[in-house]
Structures are given as C-alpha cells and as structure tokens.
Chain A
Amino acid sequence: MTAELMREAFTIQGRNFDKAGEVSSELKVILRDLGIDAATVRRLVIVAFEGEMNVVMYAEHGNLTLILTEEDIRLEIKDEGPGIADIELAMKEGYSTASDEMREMGFGFGMGLPNMRRNSDEFRIESEVGKGTSVFARIKLDSHA
C-alpha cells in the first residue's frame, strides 16, 4: 500500500443546511494550496460536496476523511444515518428519497450518488439500515488531467 502523505478528518453536522458544503469548500482550498491540478481538485470536491450534502440531508452526524498519497486522493465519508436499504437502486440516476425541503435546497433529484461515482476512479458504498452509511472514493492523481 502506498504511504500516506496526509490524513485529515472533518466533522459534518447533519441537518444544518446553512453550513452544508463548508467542509468541501475547505477541501478545495487545501488541495489547491497543495498544488494538485485543477481538474483533479474539481472532481474530488464534487464527490466531497455531494457526499457532504447527503450527510446533511439524511444523517444527524457524519465525518469526512481526506487521505493523500503519492498516487491518489481518497475520501471516506461516514455517517450515523438511516442507511440505504438498496444500494443498487440508490445508485440509479433519477432515483431519490428526498423530501420537499431537500428539493427546495436544489438537491434530491437522484443525481448525487451517480455524480460521485462518475467523478471517482473507484467508488464503494457500505450501508446498514438503522446504523449508517460509509462511502469510499479514490481519485488517481495522474488521471483526467
């Protein structure tokens, strides 16, 4: 396994729509300051932002961990939320369980998870109903430059 150059964890506050996205904005600044190319930063912050919004919309609490290695950037987003009963269905573009409040925020149109997968080189979801969801994404540093 490639050595980790950096690991940083962030807390995501569920249900707080005013602060939703702050962690992803912070990641954007951190990665840009590290000199990561703009296209890679963009893909990663889209994954982070959609993931962060999911935590805010569905869970009470969650955390996001950013891991940088020489080869890739990894994101782990874990929440203590309702969990996803059917991950395959949740990954389908257009499928959504969003409330009106979420749609009023401009989210919940069934594109979040597909957007996350599209922008990742590797993408995995683990979930247990009633316990929570964990999302793992990996973006290679040399791809899609």
Chain B
Amino acid sequence: MKLAEIKEILQCQVLTGEEDLSVDVSQVVASDGMSEILAFAKSKELMVTGLTNIQSIRTADIAGVIAVIYCRGKRPDKKVIEFAAQKRIPVLVTDMVMFDICGILYNRGLKGIS
C-alpha cells in the first residue's frame, strides 16, 4: 500500500516528506518504546508511535523505517520535523489513537513484524 493511501485512510496531516508519499508500505511497527522499534523493525516499515521527541526520529533513522506516523494528534517540535526532513523521513500526524490505527491498517492487509 502506498503511503499516500495510508495518509488518506488515517486522515493524516503531512508534517514533512510530502514528495515521498509514493513509497510502498507492507509492514508496520508500532510502539512508544524505542528499543521495541529497534528490536522488531527490519527496515522499510512504517513506524507508528506516540513519542514525538527527537529520539523518535533518531530511532526511525537508526532502524531504517520508511516513514513515521504520530498518533493521537501529538505534534513534535519544529526542530524534530526539521531533523526528519534532513534525514528524508516522511512524518505524518493523525488524531486517531494507536489501537485504531493498527486495527485499520491490519484490516487493509498490512502486517506487523514477528
């Protein structure tokens, strides 16, 4: 599924990376624990998290995820968005809660990492 499609389904606002929404997403890793993201992400996943500090983008970069979606309408600081732009990691935000995001994406055929 294209990231652009996920953006529509989850009613996201794009904070950075509008030009990179054509990437394909097939797997998702979702957690507020950064070590959990690092333990499960194998690269190229979509990362869903409620943690909006600089470490979320640091983790996204180290884990090699393809994009980050912040849940429950949490917005990062400007410097976090700038850092993501510098690392070319698209960042989206939705008002939906993590449980709903995961349920909706799972229903559409996306899978977690086991």
> Can you list 24 A-B contacts (CB < 8 A)?
A17-B53, A17-B54, A18-B54, A20-B55, A21-B54, A28-B61, A28-B62, A42-B43, A42-B63, A46-B38, A49-B58, A49-B62, A50-B35, A50-B38, A53-B55, A104-B53, A105-B51, A105-B55, A106-B32, A106-B51, A107-B55, A111-B39, A114-B39, A118-B39
Q: Does A24 contact B (CB under 8 A)?
A: yes
Interface of B is mostly: helix
The 7 closest A-B pairs by CB, nearest first: A111-B35, A21-B58, A106-B34, A106-B51, A109-B33, A49-B62, A45-B62
Q: Which chain A residues (15-57) contact chain B, with CB distance < 8 Å?
A: 17-18, 20-21, 24-25, 28, 38, 42, 45-46, 49-50, 53
How would residues 120 to 136 of chain A score, 1 for a CB under 8 Å from any chain B CB and 0 otherwise?
00000000000000000
Size range of the chain A interface in the assembly:
20 to 34
User: Is A49 in contact with B38, judged by CB distance below 8 angstroms?
Assistant: yes
A residues with a Cβ closer than 8 A to B are: 17-18, 20-21, 24-25, 28, 38, 42, 45-46, 49-50, 53, 104-107, 109, 111-112, 114-115, 118
**Given known A25-B61, A25-B62, contact A115–B38 (CB-CB < 8 A):** yes
Q: Which residues of B contact A112 (CB under 8 A)?
A: 35
User: Is A107 in contact with B58, judged by CB distance below 8 angstroms?
Assistant: no
- A114 to B33 alpha-carbon distance, docked (Å): 14
B residues with a Cβ closer than 8 A to A are: 32-36, 38-39, 43, 49, 51, 53-56, 58-59, 61-64
Interface of A is mostly: helix
| Nearest CB on B from A132, distance (A) | 22
The chain B residue with its CB closest to the CB of A39 is B43
User: Is B39 in contact with A107, judged by CB distance below 8 angstroms?
Assistant: no
Residue in A18, A24, A106, A107 with the greatest tally of chain B CB atoms within 10 Å: A106
- A45 to B64 alpha-carbon distance, docked (Å): 10
- A114 to B35 alpha-carbon distance, docked (Å): 10
| Nearest CB on B from A144, distance (A) | 11
User: Is B53 in contact with A105, judged by CB distance below 8 angstroms?
Assistant: yes
Q: Which residues of A contact B51 (CB under 8 A)?
A: 105-106
